[in-house]
Amino acid sequence: ATTLDASAAAKGRYFGAAIAANKLSDPVYTGILNREFDSVTAENEMKWDATEPRQGQFTYTAGDRIVNHARANGMKVRGHALLWHSQEPSWAQSMSGTALRSAMMNHVTKVATYYKGKIHSWDVVNEAFADGNSGARRDSNLQRTGNDWIEAAFRAARAADPAAKLCYNDYNTDSINPKSTAVYNMVKDFKARGVPIDCVGFQSHFGTTIPSDYKANLQRFAALGVDVQITELDIEQGSNQANAYKQATEACLAVSRCTGITVWGIRDSDSWRTGKNPLLFDSSGNKKAAYTAVLNALNAG
Ligand code: G3I
């Protein structure tokens, strides 16, 4: 096929992009989105600070613009993210203990209920593990409410929207390393104890290369009985960019439970990684060599 989404669909996968509601009025941006992608993630609009800026007062205007655009154009929506230590509203940043735990679970329930039936996969918890070799949870006010906060969030999300796939999402977990192994052990424990988890998201914010054990890492998680998704892919521009995108695409296609790929933005000018030009379209909206490499990898075989 001649577009990313149709080529991925022929292999049983979705191909998505992170998008910003305030760019949907840009015809170049929306033209590429509608032509090439069949899944979207809100880059910021469904986060806690955006959806509950004051405690108990929920605002869905920007998130709804994304959901409505997706539904009108036959796209799936990945929900991102119900609980994350970053981009907490200021009122939550100053909370702790049982009051914070109640506020967290209320947030999960309210947002997942509001979007019930419209979300393909939710990032229920984002980035809860520490970097480095400790394998520990990341310290945060969320974590200090008790080590069971993650499973409590997954149970609350399942109760609110039983049809959504519930994902744990993180970065620096793309290779086999102490951080990814800690996540692996959590997922294994959740599956053994019946905690509702369906998928693991691998953000995949890469430098100029992808890890040699990327596919093996995706495969070991899939073997636990969860889907895996590449959720925030971007790869720094350089002489290896197209090849690295090809390898990332091939890794997903080689793992039967890798259900889709999302790139973290559309044009280089849309990326959070200023100056790295890490996406598939240049700032004018032209297809890059990386685009062709992904398209050809999706169509191979
Ligand atoms: O919207 C406000 C604007 O009103 C204000 O004038 C401006 C001034 O700083 O800030 C704007 O908000 C910014 C927002 O992006 C929208 O552009 C925030 O400052 C900025 O912090 C925020 O950055 C986002 C970042 O998450 C926050 O941590 C990026 O767009 C977004 O790409 C990035 O995405 C994260 C994923 O959620 C999780 N994984 C890592 C990934 C990259 O950091």
| ipTM score for this prediction | 0.94
Quick: pLDDT tens for 230-242: 999 999 999 999 9
Residue 266 tokens, joined: 């559309």
Distance 87 CA to ligand 1 centre (A): 8
Distance 44 CA to ligand 1 centre (A): 6
Residue 233 backbone phi and psi in degrees, to 5: -60, 130
Q: Which of 218, 199, 223, 25 shows the shortest CA–CA distance to 119?
A: 199
Active site (catalytic) residues: 232
Instruction: Give percent above pLDDT 90 in the chain.
Output: 100
22 lines ligand 1 (CB under 6 A): no
262 lines ligand 1 (CB under 6 A): no
Distance 45 CA to ligand 1 centre (A): 10
44 lines ligand 1 (CB under 6 A): yes
Q: Which of 8, 4, 12, 7 shows the shortest CA–CA distance to 227?
A: 12
Read off the pLDDT of each residue in 43-53 and give the average, rounded to a whole number.
98
Quick: pLDDT tens for 146-191: 999 999 999 999 999 999 999 999 999 999 999 999 999 999 999 9
Give the whole-angstrom CA distance, residue 226 versus residue 201. Answer: 10
Give the whole-angstrom CA distance, residue 224 versus residue 192. Answer: 10
Q: How confident is the model at residue 226 (pLDDT cuts 50, 70, 90)?
A: very high
106 lines ligand 1 (CB under 6 A): no
